[in-house]
Structure 1
Amino acid sequence: MRDVYVIGVGMNRFGKYLTATVKGMAAEVVQLVLRDAGIDGQLLQAAYVSNTFWGMFSNQHSIRGQVALRPLGIQGIPIVNTENACAGASTAFHLAYLGIAAGAYDAVLALGVEKISHENKALSLQSYASCIDVEKSSEQINTLMQLNELYSPQVARDEPGRGRSIFMDIYAAVARWHMAKYGSTQKQLAVIASKNHFHGSLNPLAQIQRDMTVEDVLADPPVSYPLTRAMCSPVGDGAAAAILCSGDFLKKLTGARPVKTLASVLGSGRDRLIDGEDIGERLSKQAYQIAGLGPQDIDLAELHDATAFGELHQLEAMGFCQPGEGGIFSESGATRLGGKLPVNTSGGLESRGHPIGASGLAQVHEVIAQLRGEAGQRQVTGARIGMTENGGGNIGYEEAAMTIHIFESIS
């Protein structure tokens, strides 16, 4: 396997853009990533394009990448469409990585683009339900309700997915289980969200750029206990991209600012008990082994925080703290800028935003900026090793898909 480098990243500011188009956002970000890499688009030998909902909203199915890239003069090369729920963009990155590592290509584009906001808000929220097994959605909801009855009978029931994404109920149910088993608290979730909103206030590309105190987060409107609105990622649109290359290609460039990819892992969920080994635990062990590192070697991480509980859980799953101690670890200040392990310096999904098919590459954008020393006010001092973890969809008690990438600064 050959070494793989990231030589370019680009993204637009995530937000609610009712008049934006998938083609338009793709064009904007492809121009940005080519400029950042310092190469012409004609040098690209393949492209992997992530999108989830274009077909649902605009009836563009099947050949989304070809449709988005052809007007930009990127044609004739292999273009592969990836769809893996929230992990779609990071899956595109993984496939680009494999193509280069295997020797098939020397320069590859990974692009994620998503348009979710809609005048009909209910349509936007309903789209998320396609990221679970739709034929067994009632069974999934019943599983959540049973979890609620078993561990938190004091929490009043309401209809899952009413006025919100069904995933907020999934996260809330598992959060209540975690609270009952380990004693984690709603305030700890607020600490995580407050930290991410602080980080987001420093990020000019974040959808939400408002610093919030712990008290502000707790006082925000409730979504599904213990989650408040400020603990949850917003609906939004956006695009992000990366250009990957081989060592041979890199030698031909002048002025490049490469970052090395040490590990790229993709896996799927499996049937397990609520107490069974989590997909994040399994895949992080694989990624660490490939990179020849351990959790203690990571300088910063972008973790999939569709809710604040998502970050708490992934802190434990990635091995950054012991099971049950994600809330305590966060309260210690370790995950804040200046702490032992800054997490979601971009603001995370809660603040940076979460356009499903683009989020994984937005994580890559942040880590590459950090490892280049180009993150501005949110720069992690001395950052050398960075990680991204991106989960997608849900079946049973865990994500349907997940990727983990580990990067190293070589400057």
Structure 2
Amino acid sequence: MTGEVAVLGVGMHPWGKWGRGFVEYGVVAARAALADAGLDWREVDSIVGADTVRGGYPGYVAGATFAKALGWQGARVTSVYAACASGAQAIDTARGQILSGLADVVLVVGADAAPKGFFRPAGGDRPDDPDWLRFRILGATNPTYFGLYARRRMAVHGDTTEDFAQVKVKNSALGALNPYARYRKRVTVDEIAGSAVVADPLRLLDICATSDGGAAVVLCSMEFARRQGVAEPVRVRAVSTVTPRYPNTVLDLPDIATDSAVAVEPAGETFRASIARAAYEEAGIGPEDLSLAEVYDLSTALELQWYEDLGLCGEGEGAKLLREGATTLGGRVPVNTSGGLASFGEAVPAQAIAQVCELTWQLRGAAGDRQVEGARVGMTANQGLFGHGSAVVAVR
């Protein structure tokens, strides 16, 4: 397909709480990705940095910050921010530069040094920011939001707290096999049930932590990959960065000339489902083609919702899919073989890039004990604040 670009290299800095700056994590990941690609930094035409709002001014211009740390060599530079979708936006920007002919080789880097506790809106009072408003007016931190999602699934679909716990059990077992994961310990349903309630019905072990970490990918044109002797590289076939759809109503008032009065029915899918649909349509595939998926499990309940939004099962059937073992290693479509955010925690600008790292290892057959047998097509999915879609389809 003409819209494909090759993933020539991937690299990560282990997640954790290391007490160092985001630049160090990003540089480690970048050098690892360059080594994996077999390239020197001076061969890179462009660098795209995924911004962090927690790193001061250097975090707002992450592309230039990483370029300086690696050693200025004249590369084109871009910095992007889309909250949790920043990594996917950075990958999309890099892909656009390659497909337009502006660059042959682009390095994409994201890293974060997260504070302890809940994320809070950065900067002073921001009454035009819905995140700031729910914190300030409602006192609703992110786990409160996750708890409302979980409670709705229980009420509408009959999910149970044990269903949620089984997501964590699955992901912790996979994270225990991942050398980059922060938490490398299997947990049991009883341990989850015994952890503190944070936002009923979710307990501490149902909710992801905040973490330090970094991830990077080297993307290149298909022609450059062939010149490098890479006959069958992993390819990025689609990147979905769509926004939500809301109903539009045209009022039929006497002083407004309209051809008709139209009330549009609300979209028949969630925003997350629209992110997935756009990726499927661009890639020319469907959910039945997926070998695996990496999804944004801020909470255990949210992973179940992603099963449905990605079309892996029908509405309300996420817990059933989990119970059948379809989403674990060896199942029909393993989800979060990396261990997910359950095992990593959030390092916001890096996480969508880290998802692509996992897909790349899986599609290369290089994921070790986490390997999905015969993996050929993978998909990532998350979403960013203010309606930033984020999904990447990779194939081999």
Scaled by the length of structure 2, what TM-score is found?
0.89
Partner SS for 1:8: strand
Offset at residue 63 of structure 1 (A): 2.6
Number of residue equivalences: 377
Offset at residue 75 of structure 1 (A): 3.8
- How far apart in 2 are the matches of 1:267 and 1:115? 28
> What's the counterpart of residue 155 of structure 1?
none
Give the direction of change, closer, same or farther, for the CA distance of 1:257–1:215 in structure 2 (3 Å limit): farther
Give the direction of change, closer, same or farther, for the CA distance of 1:62–1:126 in structure 2 (3 Å limit): closer
> What's the counterpart of residue 258 of structure 2?
none
Give the direction of change, closer, same or farther, for the CA distance of 1:287–1:126 in structure 2 (3 Å limit): closer
Offset at residue 51 of structure 1 (A): 2.2
- How far apart in 1 are the matches of 2:151 and 2:142? 14
- How far apart in 2 are the matches of 1:238 and 1:351? 12
Q: Does 1:115 align with 2:128?
A: no
> What's the counterpart of residue 407 of structure 1?
394
> What's the counterpart of residue 172 of structure 2?
197
> What's the counterpart of residue 150 of structure 2?
175
Partner SS for 1:65: helix
The answer to whether the 8 Å contact 2:52/2:60 transfers is no
Q: Does 1:211 align with 2:176?
A: no
- How far apart in 2 are the matches of 1:47 and 1:268? 25
Q: Which amino acid aligns with 1:209?
A: R
Offset at residue 104 of structure 1 (A): 2.3
Offset at residue 294 of structure 1 (A): 0.8
Scaled by the length of structure 1, what TM-score is found?
0.85
Q: Does 1:225 align with 2:219?
A: no
Offset at residue 311 of structure 1 (A): 0.8
CA offsets, 1:9-59, max 9 Å, x none?
A: 0001100111x112211221111010000011112111110122244xx44
Which residue of 335, 345, 348 maps to 1:353?
345
- How far apart in 1 are the matches of 2:81 and 2:356? 18
> What's the counterpart of residue 26 of structure 1?
26
> What's the counterpart of residue 103 of structure 1?
101
Offset at residue 340 of structure 1 (A): 1.0
> What's the counterpart of residue 249 of structure 1?
224
Q: Does 1:289 align with 2:281?
A: yes
CA offsets, 1:330-355, max 9 Å, x none?
A: 11111111111110000001112220
Offset at residue 277 of structure 1 (A): 2.1
Q: Does 1:312 align with 2:314?
A: no
- How far apart in 2 are the matches of 1:60 and 1:54? 9
> What's the counterpart of residue 51 of structure 2?
51
- How far apart in 2 are the matches of 1:105 and 1:137? 36
Q: Which amino acid aligns with 1:83?
A: Y
Q: Does 1:377 align with 2:355?
A: no
Q: Does 1:126 align with 2:120?
A: yes
CA offsets, 1:359-388, max 9 Å, x none?
A: 001101111000001101111111111111
Is there any run of 5+ residues in structure 1 with no aligned partner, and where? Answer: 146-158, 161-165
> What's the counterpart of residue 362 of structure 1?
354
- How far apart in 2 are the matches of 1:260 and 1:21? 31
The answer to whether the 8 Å contact 2:8/2:234 transfers is yes
The answer to whether the 8 Å contact 2:51/2:61 transfers is no
The answer to whether the 8 Å contact 1:392/1:402 transfers is yes
The answer to whether the 8 Å contact 2:108/2:217 transfers is yes
Q: Which amino acid aligns with 2:393?
A: I
Offset at residue 215 of structure 1 (A): 2.0
Partner SS for 1:13: strand
Give the direction of change, closer, same or farther, for the CA distance of 1:61–1:372 in structure 2 (3 Å limit): closer
Partner SS for 2:378: strand
Offset at residue 136 of structure 1 (A): 3.9
- How far apart in 1 are the matches of 2:4 and 2:136? 46
CA RMSD of aligned residues (A): 2.4
- How far apart in 2 are the matches of 1:86 and 1:324? 25
The answer to whether the 8 Å contact 2:53/2:122 transfers is no
Offset at residue 256 of structure 1 (A): 7.3
Offset at residue 2 of structure 1 (A): 4.2
Partner SS for 1:390: strand
Give identity over the alignment, percent.
33
Offset at residue 167 of structure 1 (A): 1.7
- How far apart in 2 are the matches of 1:129 and 1:221? 30
> What's the counterpart of residue 41 of structure 1?
41
Q: Which amino acid aligns with 1:365?
A: C
